[in-house]
Amino acid sequence: MWHDPLDIIWRAADNPRSVFAAEDLDGMPPQIRTRLTQLEILRPSSTATHVVCDACFDHHVEKVTPIQYPDKTTRFFIHCPENGRVEVPRERLFQWTVHFGPILTGLATALSAKGSPAEIVPGRVWNLGRAALAGKSKPVWVARGLAWPDAGQLAQSIPKGRSPVLFYLGQAADDGLLGIPRESIIELRTVVHLDGSIVVDRDAIEVQLVDVEAPPSKRQQKKQSPRDATVGALKRELHERILSMKSAIRSADDTGSLFDLPRVTQKQLAAAIKVSESSVTRAINESGDRELEIMLQTIESENLIRKYSR
Ligand SMILES: [Zn+2]
């Protein structure tokens, strides 16, 4: 369950509360908890005043009563209608808050960002300064909660245009919310991992950003063959489908249900982009377009869809 040691961070990213109970950390290896605490990503918070009863199967929430003993120790109890007084181990009352600061500092350091980092909207928007990326000096920004109800308002504090690079925490923004090319919007969890300390995959970021630098006017000037047009339309269609599956997978995760990956056929794609099935087959078999190949592999794999970040 804890395959990604930073899983708790990514869960906190889309949770406005960001306070986790001891149960939420169940199964996290102790060395990971220690490391995250040392890095100050995980910080102890106030102790819980209420817990879920674990003595019966009713999952009722009860107020915790501390009782001082003559030997100066304190023990904690709740009342269970079925079992009467139930002792709660102290560890169950521990709560944790998640802090993104150390990860953002790790990102700024990995990108050798210059300038003074600033929190523009508390807990939501950060300006990390400028960094040399894909051969250009680019403003680097981070935003969290771009799918929350106030995302429209939040977007106003983020710069627009071809220059900025935006890393986001939590779910992706709706298309068109941010006036930034898609290639410049990167999901933070796809480029950061924990390996003793915070490690940032700078190469992956560079590769993604190179695309932004190809001026769109040049692309349009090149005369497009019908097959290239089909490839372009296929990629746009696949992109939309992958993003919607990705969001369906996330919702399934949130509700704890299983996601049944639908099979996408060439016939369906042909109908969606309004060309013949044979044009789609030709475009797929003959174009040699690497990106198209990757997208076709992605749409068949739940795992690759999860990692998709364009
Ligand atoms: Zn009970």
Q: For 196-205, what is each residue's pLDDT tens digit?
A: 899 999 998 9
In this prediction, residues 101-108 reach a mean pLDDT of 95
> pLDDT at position 240, please?
86
Between the ranges 98-112, 202-216, 252-266, where is the mean pLDDT highest? 98-112
> pLDDT at position 244, please?
86
Looking at the structure of the chain, the number of domains it has is 3
Give residue 128 CA to ligand 1 midpoint distance, Å: 48
Q: Domain boundary residue among 75, 98, 121?
A: 98
In this prediction, residues 36-64 reach a mean pLDDT of 93
Q: Domain boundary residue among 189, 215, 241?
A: 215
Comparing 220 with 208, the larger pLDDT belongs to 208
- Residue 181 and residue 134 share a domain: yes
> pLDDT at position 18, please?
73
- Residue 257 and residue 227 share a domain: yes
The answer to the question of residue 283 being in a domain is yes
The answer to the question of residue 206 being in a domain is yes
Choice among 16-25, 119-128, 221-230 with the minimum mean pLDDT: 221-230
- Residue 229 and residue 164 share a domain: no
The answer to the question of residue 50 being in a domain is yes
> pLDDT at position 27, please?
81
Average pLDDT, the chain: 88
Q: Which residues surround ligand 1, an ion (CB under 5 A)?
A: 53, 55-56, 80
- Residue 138 and residue 123 share a domain: yes
> pLDDT at position 81, please?
95
Does the pLDDT of residue 141 top 80, yes or no?
yes
Does the pLDDT of residue 219 top 50, yes or no?
no
- Residue 149 and residue 49 share a domain: no
The answer to the question of residue 16 being in a domain is yes
In this prediction, residues 210-214 reach a mean pLDDT of 68
Give residue 21 CA to ligand 1 midpoint distance, Å: 18
Give residue 87 CA to ligand 1 midpoint distance, Å: 11
- Residue 53 and residue 85 share a domain: yes
- Residue 196 and residue 118 share a domain: yes
Q: Domain boundary residue among 65, 98, 131?
A: 98
- Residue 83 and residue 44 share a domain: yes
> pLDDT at position 251, please?
83
- Residue 109 and residue 92 share a domain: no
Domain of residue 27 covers 7-98
Q: In terms of Cα–Cα distance, which of 256, 253, 254, 247 is closest to 172?
A: 247
- Residue 116 and residue 42 share a domain: no
The answer to the question of residue 1 being in a domain is no
62 and 50 Cβ atoms separated by less than 8 Å: yes
Give residue 54 CA to ligand 1 midpoint distance, Å: 6
Give residue 125 CA to ligand 1 midpoint distance, Å: 42
- Residue 259 and residue 176 share a domain: no
- State how far the Cα of 160 lies from the Cα of 141, in Å rounded to an integer: 11
Q: In terms of Cα–Cα distance, which of 35, 188, 49 is closest to 105?
A: 188
Give residue 25 CA to ligand 1 midpoint distance, Å: 22
> pLDDT at position 285, please?
85
- State how far the Cα of 174 lies from the Cα of 156, in Å rounded to an integer: 14
Instruction: Give, as one character, the DSSP assignment of residue 114.
Output: B
Burial category of 205 from C-beta neighbours within 10 Å (exposed 0-12, middle 13-18, buried 19 and up): buried
> pLDDT at position 220, please?
47
> pLDDT at position 289, please?
80
Comparing 85 with 22, the larger pLDDT belongs to 85
pLDDT tens digits for 9-41? 998 998 887 788 888 888 888 899 999 999 999
> pLDDT at position 282, please?
86
Beta strand ranges found along the chain (DSSP E): 19-21, 42-44, 50-52, 61-63, 65-68, 74-80, 84-88, 95-98, 118-121, 125-133, 136-144, 165-169, 185-187, 192-195, 197-200
The answer to the question of residue 147 being in a domain is yes
The answer to the question of residue 302 being in a domain is yes
Does the pLDDT of residue 160 top 70, yes or no?
yes
In this prediction, residues 158-181 reach a mean pLDDT of 91
- State how far the Cα of 53 lies from the Cα of 58, in Å rounded to an integer: 8
pLDDT tens digits for 239-264? 888 888 888 888 888 888 888 888 88
The answer to the question of residue 182 being in a domain is yes
In this prediction, residues 208-236 reach a mean pLDDT of 70
Beta strands 165-169; 185-187: pairing state: parallel
Query: At 299, which amino acid appears?
Result: I
Query: At 91, which amino acid appears?
Result: E
In this prediction, residues 112-120 reach a mean pLDDT of 93
Give residue 20 CA to ligand 1 midpoint distance, Å: 22
> pLDDT at position 216, please?
53
- Residue 194 and residue 109 share a domain: yes
Give residue 91 CA to ligand 1 midpoint distance, Å: 18
